[in-house]
Amino acid sequence: MTNKQLTVAVSRQGLYDITAQVASEVAACGVEDGLATLFIQHTSASLLIQENADPAVQKDLQNWLNRLVIENDPLYTHVEEGPDDMPAHIKGALTAVNLSIPIMQGVLALGVWQGIYLWEHRHHQGSHRRLVLNIQSSSS
Protein backbone atom coordinates (compact mmCIF):
# COMPACT_ATOMS: atom_id res chain seq x y z
CA MET A 1 0.00 0.00 0.00
CA THR A 2 1.25 3.48 -0.89
CA ASN A 3 -0.05 6.86 0.25
CA LYS A 4 0.85 10.04 -1.61
CA GLN A 5 -0.02 13.64 -0.82
CA LEU A 6 -0.90 15.61 -3.97
CA THR A 7 -1.29 19.36 -4.32
CA VAL A 8 -3.35 21.03 -7.03
CA ALA A 9 -3.12 24.77 -7.71
CA VAL A 10 -6.50 26.43 -8.28
CA SER A 11 -7.21 29.99 -9.35
CA ARG A 12 -10.98 30.11 -9.84
CA GLN A 13 -14.17 28.08 -9.78
CA GLY A 14 -14.15 25.26 -12.28
CA LEU A 15 -12.96 21.80 -13.13
CA TYR A 16 -9.23 21.03 -13.11
CA ASP A 17 -8.08 17.96 -15.01
CA ILE A 18 -5.78 16.02 -12.67
CA THR A 19 -5.73 12.76 -14.66
CA ALA A 20 -2.07 13.02 -15.70
CA GLN A 21 -0.93 13.84 -12.16
CA VAL A 22 -2.77 10.85 -10.67
CA ALA A 23 -1.71 8.52 -13.51
CA SER A 24 1.93 9.53 -13.02
CA GLU A 25 1.81 8.65 -9.32
CA VAL A 26 0.15 5.30 -10.10
CA ALA A 27 2.81 4.48 -12.70
CA ALA A 28 5.62 5.44 -10.29
CA CYS A 29 4.40 3.07 -7.58
CA GLY A 30 4.72 0.02 -9.86
CA VAL A 31 1.39 -1.61 -8.98
CA GLU A 32 0.19 -3.82 -11.84
CA ASP A 33 -3.30 -4.61 -10.58
CA GLY A 34 -5.03 -2.92 -7.68
CA LEU A 35 -7.06 0.09 -6.65
CA ALA A 36 -6.34 3.80 -6.52
CA THR A 37 -8.43 5.79 -4.05
CA LEU A 38 -8.33 9.57 -4.22
CA PHE A 39 -9.59 11.76 -1.36
CA ILE A 40 -9.79 15.57 -1.20
CA GLN A 41 -9.05 17.15 2.19
CA HIS A 42 -11.44 20.08 1.80
CA THR A 43 -15.16 20.78 2.25
CA SER A 44 -15.56 23.37 -0.51
CA ALA A 45 -14.16 21.38 -3.45
CA SER A 46 -14.86 17.91 -4.77
CA LEU A 47 -13.74 15.18 -7.17
CA LEU A 48 -15.38 13.58 -10.16
CA ILE A 49 -14.78 11.43 -13.19
CA GLN A 50 -16.22 13.08 -16.27
CA GLU A 51 -15.86 13.42 -20.03
CA ASN A 52 -12.51 14.82 -21.07
CA ALA A 53 -13.06 15.26 -24.82
CA ASP A 54 -15.38 18.26 -25.04
CA PRO A 55 -14.69 21.24 -22.73
CA ALA A 56 -18.33 22.25 -23.10
CA VAL A 57 -19.21 19.42 -20.71
CA GLN A 58 -17.20 21.00 -17.90
CA LYS A 59 -18.63 24.44 -18.64
CA ASP A 60 -22.20 23.08 -18.68
CA LEU A 61 -21.66 21.22 -15.39
CA GLN A 62 -20.27 24.36 -13.77
CA ASN A 63 -23.13 26.52 -15.05
CA TRP A 64 -25.74 23.99 -13.95
CA LEU A 65 -24.35 23.65 -10.43
CA ASN A 66 -24.05 27.43 -10.06
CA ARG A 67 -27.69 27.77 -11.06
CA LEU A 68 -28.71 25.04 -8.62
CA VAL A 69 -26.75 26.50 -5.68
CA ILE A 70 -26.78 30.29 -5.89
CA GLU A 71 -24.59 32.76 -4.05
CA ASN A 72 -25.98 35.47 -1.73
CA ASP A 73 -29.04 33.44 -0.77
CA PRO A 74 -30.58 35.10 2.33
CA LEU A 75 -31.08 31.61 3.76
CA TYR A 76 -27.33 31.27 4.46
CA THR A 77 -25.99 32.13 7.91
CA HIS A 78 -22.39 31.00 7.25
CA VAL A 79 -21.28 34.14 5.41
CA GLU A 80 -18.10 35.30 7.20
CA GLU A 81 -15.79 33.92 4.48
CA GLY A 82 -17.60 35.50 1.54
CA PRO A 83 -20.65 34.90 -0.65
CA ASP A 84 -19.10 31.84 -2.35
CA ASP A 85 -18.26 29.95 0.86
CA MET A 86 -21.61 28.43 1.92
CA PRO A 87 -22.58 27.61 -1.68
CA ALA A 88 -19.18 25.86 -2.01
CA HIS A 89 -19.95 23.72 1.05
CA ILE A 90 -23.35 22.78 -0.38
CA LYS A 91 -21.79 21.90 -3.74
CA GLY A 92 -19.20 19.79 -1.93
CA ALA A 93 -21.99 17.97 -0.08
CA LEU A 94 -23.82 17.25 -3.36
CA THR A 95 -20.76 15.89 -5.14
CA ALA A 96 -17.99 13.41 -4.20
CA VAL A 97 -14.98 13.84 -1.92
CA ASN A 98 -13.41 10.52 -2.89
CA LEU A 99 -13.04 8.31 -5.96
CA SER A 100 -11.95 4.71 -6.40
CA ILE A 101 -10.39 3.72 -9.72
CA PRO A 102 -9.16 0.22 -10.59
CA ILE A 103 -5.56 -0.22 -11.72
CA MET A 104 -5.15 -2.76 -14.51
CA GLN A 105 -1.82 -3.64 -16.12
CA GLY A 106 -0.16 -0.71 -14.37
CA VAL A 107 -2.56 2.02 -15.51
CA LEU A 108 -5.80 3.57 -14.31
CA ALA A 109 -8.76 1.69 -15.82
CA LEU A 110 -10.50 4.84 -17.06
CA GLY A 111 -12.77 4.76 -20.08
CA VAL A 112 -11.75 6.34 -23.38
CA TRP A 113 -13.50 9.66 -22.67
CA GLN A 114 -13.01 9.77 -18.89
CA GLY A 115 -10.81 12.16 -16.96
CA ILE A 116 -10.31 12.80 -13.24
CA TYR A 117 -11.24 16.31 -12.14
CA LEU A 118 -10.87 18.41 -9.04
CA TRP A 119 -13.98 20.58 -8.95
CA GLU A 120 -13.19 23.88 -7.26
CA HIS A 121 -16.33 25.53 -5.88
CA ARG A 122 -14.82 28.80 -4.60
CA HIS A 123 -13.61 31.92 -6.41
CA HIS A 124 -10.00 31.48 -5.19
CA GLN A 125 -7.21 33.58 -6.55
CA GLY A 126 -4.05 31.58 -6.19
CA SER A 127 -4.79 28.75 -3.77
CA HIS A 128 -3.99 25.06 -3.43
CA ARG A 129 -6.02 21.96 -2.68
CA ARG A 130 -4.62 18.89 -0.95
CA LEU A 131 -5.48 15.35 -1.95
CA VAL A 132 -4.47 11.95 -0.63
CA LEU A 133 -3.89 9.16 -3.13
CA ASN A 134 -3.94 5.64 -1.69
CA ILE A 135 -2.69 2.90 -4.02
CA GLN A 136 -3.29 -0.72 -3.08
CA SER A 137 -2.01 -3.75 -4.92
CA SER A 138 -4.35 -6.71 -5.37
CA SER A 139 -1.36 -8.99 -4.79
CA SER A 140 -0.61 -7.67 -1.27
Percent pLDDT > 90 in the chain is: 96
Residue 53: CATH number of its domain:
2.60.120.460
User: DSSP labels for the chain?
Assistant: -EEEEEEEEE-SSEEEE-HHHHHHHHHHHT-SSEEEEEEE--SSEEEEEEE-S-HHHHHHHHHHHHHHS-SS-TT----TT-TTHHHHHHHHHHSBSEEEEEEETTEE---TTEEEEEEE-S--SSEEEEEEEEEEETT-
Q: What is the structure's pLDDT at 126? A: 79
Mean pLDDT of 45-57: 97
Structurally, the chain folds into a number of domains equal to 1
pLDDT at site 125: 79
Structural domain of 71 = 2-137
